[in-house]
Amino acid sequence: MPKQIITSATTPTTGFTDKSTPSPLAQGIRWGNMLFISGQAALDPESLEVVSDDIQEQTRQTLENLEGVLKEAGATFANVVNMRVCLRDESDFPKFNIAFSDFMQREKVTRTCVGGRPHRRGVNVEIDCIAMFD
Backbone angles phi, psi at 47, to 5 degrees: -90, -20
Provide the residue-wise pLDDT of the chain in tens; the chain has 134 residues.
789 999 999 998 876 556 677 778 899 999 999 999 999 999 998 888 899 999 999 999 999 999 999 999 999 999 999 999 999 999 999 999 999 999 999 999 999 999 998 778 899 999 999 999 98
- Residue 50 pairs in a beta bridge with 43
| 70 to 17, 20, 92, 95, 117: CA distances (angstroms) | 24, 25, 26, 24, 25
* pTM confidence score: 0.93
Q: What is the pLDDT of residue 1?
A: 76
CATH class held by domain 4-132:
alpha beta
| 38 to 18, 92, 102, 128: CA distances (angstroms) | 18, 22, 22, 5
Q: How far apart are CA 24 and CA 109, in angstroms?
A: 28
- Would you list the domain boundaries of the chain? 4-132
Closest CA to 115 of 83, 71, 85, 76: 85
